[in-house]
Amino acid sequence: MTTNPSPQLWLYDTTLRDGTQREGLSVSIEDKLRIAHRLDQLGVPFIEGGWPGANPKDVQFFWQLQENPLKQAEIVAFCSTRRPNTNAATEPMLQAILAAGTRWVTIFGKSWDLHVTASLKTTLEENLAMIRDTIEYLCSQGRRVIYDAEHWFDGYKQNSVYALQTLEVAIAAGAEWLVLCDTNGGTLPHEVSQIVQDVVKVAGDWGLGAGKSGAEEESTQSPITNPSYPLSPEGVPPSLIPQIGIHTHNDSDMAVANALAAVMAGARMVQGTINGYGERCGNANLCSLIPNLQLKLGYSCIGEDELTQLTEASRFVSEVVNLAPDEHAPFVGRSAFAHKGGIHVSAVERNPLTYEHIQPEQVGNRRRIVISEQSGLSNVLAKARTFGIELDQHQPEARQILQRMKDLESEGYQFEAAEASFALLMHEALGDRQQFFEVKGFQVHCDLIEGKETSNALATIKVAVNGKNILEAAEGNGPVAALDAALRKALVNFYPQIATFELTDYKVRILNGHTGTAAKTRVLVESGNGSERWTTVGVSPNILEASYQAVVEGLEYGLLLHSQAEASLRVSR
């Protein structure tokens, strides 16, 4: 028995161009190269690299990518149509596009008559000439063209006849894709659906009547290196069929919904960004679109193995652009499959379908049982299993752990965000918490000199390891940095692996602000060793005391992970 293959959709990532227009986001050439290669590994067919000629960074990016090319994806250069009343062949910005050396070029042009007259300050006829001349010139230079119809939906609603003329000119000039852009992000899904249906119907007539002949008709190459690009039922070469794409913005929180509506109406290219990065409110989030399209609607976007890399790719990009991951993002967020309520935990332990719409592993994520004051015994048992600890509900230690956790949370601790501290709490209750070291005491001294922009801190710490006392001191740019440095300096000779640990995040929360500077403080410290990350918590009216608790437990948990890994390695041998 044979099964019909899933219909193909073409993903187009614009993180490196549209995504970098997000306020507060900035990337280097090296960052862009790392992201491009990671998207290539994810299986994204088209990756828009930027606008060569618009800035030196993008020029260098395309040159360096030629020296270290992508393995399967097409890198795409982006540019506008030529300026009014000029000639495409002499347009300097188009020469920069050709110099980028990409096989594919995306050109955007005006669809909305308001923009033609108000922004470009030219005539509707000249705008059509700009689209035609630009695309024809690029095609004559051996480039394949994707045409982004900017402000398409607003333009169509205002003047559908002219908006359709711009598309007809683009396809007649040689564009192989017509991408409909909701540039202002204000269109709703039912409007997108109807308008895309209208365009698909009209574009079909244009494609079959395109009238290309000779060598052009013999070309059946795919739009990317993959030769499986679908032909029409009649076997017409793809170069003769206008394919429709969709590009949506999130100003109405509808970018993903609008992209899905467009696909269901006939669009076959979906443009978006990783994590939804983009100007204003962002672009359509590919991390939500890909699993919805592939797992819910049955389209083929990327391979199943690549789909399991989606969560890692999302977090990789967020790290490179130096933005905190959205923990509550659908599919890829740390909380996407987190269960906190006792009834939920009990049910999902029996059958995950009760509270999970897909298997987390399908997108490379994992189920998490969250521990908090709202937790029941089932949460504690499930959470213990994630740390390799088997507890029975009848064990007195299980209820001791639950009660201890609730007592501490009533004091201001928060274990749902500090799972490493909760693991240490469990080991403490079970009587098997390893004491790698004992801090006997510490002092921190800070100098703040008027007129200087920086302050210096000196920490002195006394630590006992295996019965031996060590006294060390270290400086830092603040009291917590100095304390952390002194502690590491005292321990690294006994535990060399500490050199690989790093403090990756530090958060402070005031718990009872009405008491002013005497308020109780909660500190969350995130640590890592290059392959894993863990978070610990400290609470005290003294911010240094709270920081000390979190930093010490962060080092202790890292040493625990290392000792467990070594024990596992010995068993495997």
Confidence of residue 228 (pLDDT cuts 50, 70, 90): very low
How much of the chain exceeds pLDDT 90, in percent? 60
Q: At 304, list the tokens.
A: 């199943």
Specify if 273 maps to a domain: yes
| Cα separation, 251 vs 249, whole angstroms | 6
pLDDT in tens, 36-58: 999 999 999 999 999 998 888 99
Which strands make up the sheet holding 533-540, listed edge to edge? Answer: 502-510, 521-528, 533-540
Within this chain, do residues 246 and 224 fall inside the same structural domain, yes or no? Answer: yes
- The CA–CA distances, whole Å, from 304 to 71, 294, 361, 468 equal 18, 9, 11, 54
100: pLDDT strictly greater than 90: yes
319: pLDDT strictly greater than 90: no
493: pLDDT strictly greater than 70: yes
| Cα separation, 569 vs 562, whole angstroms | 11
Instruction: Please report, to the nearest 10 degrees, the dihedral formed by the alpha carbons of residues 406, 412, 416, 421 taken in order.
Output: -90
503 or 152, which is more confident? 152
Give the domain CATH number at 94: 3.20.20.70
pTM score, whole prediction: 0.70
* Residue of 40, 41, 62 lying closest to 51 (CA atoms): 62
Q: Which of 410, 430, 450 is the last residue of a domain?
A: 430
pLDDT of 251 reads: 97
pLDDT of 554 reads: 94
pLDDT in tens, 125-151: 999 999 999 999 999 999 999 999 999
Within this chain, do residues 483 and 409 fall inside the same structural domain, yes or no? Answer: no
DSSP-derived secondary structure letter, 498: G
pLDDT of 342 reads: 62
219: pLDDT strictly greater than 60: no
| Cα separation, 379 vs 416, whole angstroms | 11
Specify if 224 maps to a domain: yes
461: pLDDT strictly greater than 50: yes
pLDDT of 108 reads: 98
Confidence of residue 216 (pLDDT cuts 50, 70, 90): very low
pLDDT of 298 reads: 95
236: pLDDT strictly greater than 60: no
Confidence of residue 296 (pLDDT cuts 50, 70, 90): very high
Q: What are phi and psi of 467, to 5 degrees?
A: 80, 0
Q: At 47, list the tokens.
A: 């990756």
Specify if 503 maps to a domain: no
* Rg of the chain (C-alpha set): 29
Rounded to the nearest integer, the mean pLDDT of the chain is 86
Within this chain, do residues 168 and 44 fall inside the same structural domain, yes or no? Answer: yes
Length of the chain in residues, anyone? 573
Within this chain, do residues 63 and 185 fall inside the same structural domain, yes or no? Answer: yes
214: pLDDT strictly greater than 50: no
Lowest mean per-residue pLDDT among 213-227, 366-380, 434-448: 213-227
Asked whether the beta carbons of 146 and 104 are under 8 A apart, the reply is yes
Longest Cα–Cα distance of the chain, Å, equals 88
77: pLDDT strictly greater than 50: yes
- For residues 396-407, average pLDDT: 86
Lowest mean per-residue pLDDT among 165-179, 225-239, 471-485: 225-239
| Cα separation, 302 vs 282, whole angstroms | 23
- Count of domains forming the chain: 3
Within this chain, do residues 62 and 103 fall inside the same structural domain, yes or no? Answer: yes
pLDDT of 398 reads: 87
- For residues 260-289, average pLDDT: 97
pLDDT of 3 reads: 52
| Cα separation, 20 vs 3, whole angstroms | 41
Domain holding 482, by residue range, is: 437-494
Specify if 183 maps to a domain: yes
Beta bridge partners of 539: 522
226: pLDDT strictly greater than 70: no
Specify if 94 maps to a domain: yes
Q: Which amino acid is at 227?
A: P
350 or 200, which is more confident? 200
Within this chain, do residues 76 and 181 fall inside the same structural domain, yes or no? Answer: yes
Q: At 71, list the tokens.
A: 């393995």
Beta bridge partners of 503: 527
| Cα separation, 248 vs 260, whole angstroms | 10
Confidence of residue 564 (pLDDT cuts 50, 70, 90): confident
Instruction: Classify residue 98 as exposed, middle or buried by CB count within 10 Å of its CB (0-12, 13-18, 19+).
Output: middle
Which uninterrupted H or E stretch holds 563? helix 543-572
- For residues 509-535, average pLDDT: 78
Helices (H), 174-282: 189-208, 215-218, 255-264
- Sequence-distant (6+) residues with CB within 8 A of 533 are 504, 526, 527
- Sequence-distant (6+) residues with CB within 8 A of 460 are 442, 443, 444, 445, 471, 472, 473, 486
- For residues 11-19, average pLDDT: 97
Evaluated on CA atoms 113, 119, 122, 128, the torsion sign reads negative
Within this chain, do residues 105 and 39 fall inside the same structural domain, yes or no? Answer: yes
Within this chain, do residues 456 and 389 fall inside the same structural domain, yes or no? Answer: no
- For residues 60-84, average pLDDT: 95
- Sequence-distant (6+) residues with CB within 8 A of 41 are 71, 306, 309, 313
Within this chain, do residues 172 and 258 fall inside the same structural domain, yes or no? Answer: yes
Specify if 320 maps to a domain: no
